[in-house]
Structure 1
Amino acid sequence: MQAAGEHLLSQVTQSLYGFCSGIDIVELRMKLSEIISEYDIKRIESEVAHPDLKEKIELSLAGKQLEGLSKITLDGYRIHLRIFADGVKKKVDDVTTADIRVYLARYKDQKIATISTKLSVLKSFFGWLTAEEILPRDPTTKIKPPKKEKRLPKALSIEELEMLREACQNVRQRTLIEILYATGCRLSEVYAINRKDIDYNTQSCRVIGKGNKEREVYFSFKALFHLKKYLFSRGDQESALFITERQPYRRLSKRGIQREIGIIAAAAGLQKKVSPHTLRHTFATLTLNNGADLVAVQELLGHENPATTQIYASITAERKREQHRKHLVQ
């Protein structure tokens, strides 16, 4: 018999002998040995995740992939779920609400957003298993998400946006600023745009956002002017909209775009941190403050949930005063 089987046999017989006095331990061991000999027994080491939980994680990720989740989102889910599996070390059927609460409590010193993300991933995982009837119940149902910190996105003011524009040292930098601001695109969306995607007649292009969903975004006259100028200055055949400055020319990486925005912000002398996402925040905030419809901005940003766009609707004090003067019945 395998060592794992012998170990199991010893543990079971000792436990039963402790609870039931008067039993023939030798006969019991022989009978159990006959039964166990028909099975291939492996001991689960406490240091590693339970194989059942790992198997269910991969199964759920495969299901989520079929539902259209992007590779980036799936990779993020996989990391969070593997950390959870390594921490819990149970079969998925044995995971309780208490296990999940204990796991999340380990991160009590982390930001609320971190805990919310971890819980959101677990709710998605167990919710999927329950919907597929792999689990009879969802252990995350009773766990409420922590209250989110009310932080407004740090958008640029009009003056700061102009400072960025003035600080650009070349046409590629200026085009990056104008495209990110005019379209409100995410970094990953701008990174993936190709030259052929641009429709000059409608001053727009189509991008693939979260959940592999396609939407149309629009350029301003400034963005289109600098984009044409940038593309005219290039002599390469690379399909990407933004490419590296040095040969061999290739698509400018996401990290490269982030670095370029950081260089421009430093040259502008801005004290706040500026990233491609800052320009997305700026697009949303300035357009809403200028009277844009919330639903339209939601569509332009590619937000599935209106509540995500609503955060930008907390308008400035100046805008509040203007609205008060304009609409108050004297």
Structure 2
Amino acid sequence: MLWPSYIKGFKSYLKLERSLSANSIAAYLNDIDKLIQYFQSLNEEPKLTDINITDLKSFISWLNELGMLASTQARVISGLKAFFSYLFLEDVISNDPTALLEAPKLSRKLPDTLNIYEINELINAIDASKPEGMRNKAIMEVLYGCGLRVTELTELRISSLFPQIEFIKVIGKGNKERLVPIGGVALKLLDIYINEVRVHTNIKKGHEDFIFLNRFGAKLSRISIFNLIKSLALTTGLKKTISPHTLRHSFATHLIEGGADLRAVQEMLGHSSITTTEIYTHIDRDYLREVITQFHPRS
């Protein structure tokens, strides 16, 4: 397969021109690798200039036969569209074969959420007497109190805290900055962790500004946050399958339930499209449906 140089150029384009994270770039490259695997299964090595929409539709059918979910197929198509768009911009191909390629229709899955009792149970399950206890309490309060993505949390820096005005600066997808309000409880726990616990950590060089550190003085990894959430779920006997993103979902849902403006929630979550935020309005719609069913004479 004579594609490596173009894939390398695409990787540089995603990193330098689109400023995507390493995880996002890896996902795009993985999408291209799936197309390569498809052609290898046919014992074919087509030139990029020879690939047409018929080839790509056959590829999507192949993914479907493998049992790939519609949402994953849509993700792969998105990656291929980005790749062939790049090739078109670079004049490698004269026509973009993905221009008319449609993603499978997706049913909108409602995100799992926790109620405030469940969230309090998780936070109260943390043993504050342990060395990492206060750090973990601060992590949970910031995740839920600010609606952060897990990477936004691990990348959070001391220099991004503005306690006087109760805001934090967050670096979101595509290195986009946004200011997010932070509540008093989260600020108090951050203050205790930073000034009474973290100060006793032997911090690794280059990690001085990161807020949340592991026992070796280095920035916490994403997997550490996932493990923390799963451990707390086991401790409290929570039956739901949860992740750090569940706290973000809960943050948004609780704001919408409380009557918060959708555009304000969009801004706090860092969504580029309000359509993404609108998924959290399902709670209000369910409530209205219950009211109609219970009280309307014609229901």
- The alignment's TM-score, normalised by the length of structure 2, stands at 0.85
Q: Which residue of 2 aligns with 1:96?
A: 52
Q: For residue 145 of structure 1, report the CA deviation from its aligned partner.
A: 0.9
Query: How far apart, in 2, do the equivalents of 1:168 and 1:274 lie?
Result: 16
Once the two structures are superposed, residues 65-97 of structure 1 have per-residue CA deviations (whole angstroms, 9 ceiling, x without a partner) of: 222222221121112212313433211100111
Amino acid at match of 1:77: Y
Q: Which residue among 141, 156, 160 is the counterpart of 1:197?
A: 160
* Stretch moving more, 274-283 or 56-65: 56-65
Counterpart contact for 1:173–1:264, Cα < 8 Å? no
Query: How far apart, in 2, do the equivalents of 1:271 and 1:202 lie?
Result: 38
Q: Which residue of 1 aligns with 2:14?
A: 64
Once the two structures are superposed, residues 278-329 of structure 1 have per-residue CA deviations (whole angstroms, 9 ceiling, x without a partner) of: 10111111111111111111111111122111111222466426998xxx9x
Counterpart contact for 1:54–1:82, Cα < 8 Å? no
Counterpart contact for 1:187–1:277, Cα < 8 Å? yes
1:304 and 2:272 aligned: yes
Q: Which has the higher contact order (CA 8 A, sep 6+)?
A: 2
Amino acid at match of 2:183: S
Q: Which residue among 228, 242, 246 is the counterpart of 2:212?
A: 242
Q: For residue 113 of structure 1, report the CA deviation from its aligned partner.
A: 1.2
Query: How far apart, in 1, do the equivalents of 2:162 and 2:189 lie?
Result: 15
Number of aligned positions between the proteins: 274
Matches within 5 A, 1:163-202: 163-170=121-128, 171-202=134-165
Q: Which residue of 2 aligns with 1:223?
A: 186
Q: Which residue of 2 aligns with 1:125?
A: 83
- The alignment's TM-score, normalised by the length of structure 1, stands at 0.77
Give 1 or 2 for the bigger CA radius of gyration.
1
Q: For residue 55 of structure 1, report the CA deviation from its aligned partner.
A: 2.4
Q: CA RMSD in A?
A: 2.2
SS of residue in 1 equivalent to 2:283:
coil
Stretches of structure 2 that go unaligned for 5 or more consecutive residues are 40-44, 129-133
Q: For residue 122 of structure 1, report the CA deviation from its aligned partner.
A: 0.6
Amino acid at match of 1:83: K
Q: For residue 60 of structure 1, report the CA deviation from its aligned partner.
A: 2.4
Q: Which residue of 2 aligns with 1:154?
A: 112
Once the two structures are superposed, residues 228-283 of structure 1 have per-residue CA deviations (whole angstroms, 9 ceiling, x without a partner) of: 12223322363221122x3x322222111111111112112110112111101111
Counterpart contact for 2:38–2:62, Cα < 8 Å? no
Instruction: State percent identity of aligned pairs.
Output: 32
Q: Which residue of 2 aligns with 1:262?
A: 230
Query: How far apart, in 2, do the equivalents of 1:168 and 1:129 lie?
Result: 51
